[in-house]
Structure 1
Amino acid sequence: MPLNNPPAAVVPFKPGDIIKEHYTLVQQIGAGSYGAIFEAVYQNGVLSKVVAMKFEQITFDKPMLYNEIVILKALA
């Protein structure tokens, strides 16, 4: 029986966008029904490093990222 995959979330960001003056989005590396994950580069003039940034599509009263944090803390 095939599984019905929910549609991927639509987020208003794309590679090349700059977030909070220091993060440049490089490429989208993942997406799901709740949001998208991008590879990004953090630069502040002295430090430069590759990071991952998760953007959540806000459609719920309580963001799913909050639930993720609670679950991960419980597992730690």
Structure 2
Amino acid sequence: MCQDEVIVETKLPLPLRARGKVRDIYDLGDSLLFVASDRISAFDCILPSGIPCKGRVLTQMSLFWFEFLKG
């Protein structure tokens, strides 16, 4: 079950490589960490509010397709 907290910005103790409309990318040295947030954008503008659990759903969809295509 999803909580009501909306995550629109991440602040991990890692080097931030890039911040996109929805995802933040952190540098782990030999790999990258993609963090999907709850941010929403419209017409290339990031809106101040977010959608609860959007990041979690995006991550689950990505994991499904990575596993499916690895097959």
Q: TM-score range by the shorter chain?
A: 0.3 to 0.5
Greater C-alpha Rg: 1
Higher strand share: 1
Higher helix share: 2
